[in-house]
Amino acid sequence: MTTCATAPLQACFVDLAQEDGITPAQIAQLSLAGAPWSGVGLQCSNGLLTFPNWFPQAWKAAGRNSANPAYGRTWFRIPYAYGRVDEDHNQQADLACAQIESARGWDIGDLWFGLDIERGEQPADATALQVETFCSGFAARILYNLGRGTLLYAGSYTRDLGIKSRMGCALLWYPQWSPSISWATVQSMGWDMDSTLLWQAVGDGSNTAPPGYPHTTPIGADLDISILVRANLPYADGLEWTRTHAGAAQPL
């Protein structure tokens, strides 16, 4: 087990869904909190379900505005969809992209489209082939629609199915709620330190953050917190790499 934590702290991201009860005003507050808070992931869809009363306002609150000069420099947005493997992947990808377009679209501080694939409400009998086919198809559709790679949120669900491929995705968002990250486990899933963008170290209110890292956010506890770990770059270098790869004109 090897922690990625270095001094100073790495950048931290908070991922949010409508069910968390966080308002657009609170998201705007988080965007102004400063280091180490450097961005949010915002759920735009769940299968073929959308959140028209929450996502558009949340997306706007986290984006470019006169009160948030950090956007695109040290503050970023990540849209993500919860994928359901028993529903059509093209329809889900198209619907998720439409949610972003209806909320003023992409801008300079927006990172890769996230696909959240976890056990949750998936069919109990879903096979590894079914999951791989779904994720690969979803990522291909995102690439077709946007010309950009997909950020895959995956952990124990795909690992327990024995999946070792990247399923057409460009980067990994890895959940491991513990004070350190096991790179050996990440590698067993077919990924490595260079291809892992985020490590979700705190989830569902767990007090598992690495030493010196926050386990609550400026807008409340019981929220998921992820740490930017790509190549274990120092804080400023990690943000610089992220900044130069952000925006719709910077595919990966």
Which pLDDT tens digit goes with each residue over 42-82?
Answer: 999 999 999 999 999 999 999 988 788 889 889 999 999 99
Phi, psi of 201, deg, nearest 5: -90, -20
Candidate from 64-68, 166-170, 172-176, 188-192 with smallest mean pLDDT:
64-68
Its pTM stands at 0.93
Q: Please count the other Cβ atoms lying within 10 Å of the Cβ belonging to residue 20.
A: 17
How far is residue 19's CA from residue 63's CA, in Å, rounded to a whole number?
A: 21
Domains and CATH numbers, the chain: 12-244 (3.20.20.80)
The pLDDT assigned to 217 comes to 95
Q: Residue 251 is encoded by which pair of tokens?
A: 């595919």
CB atoms inside a 10 Å sphere around CB 250: 14
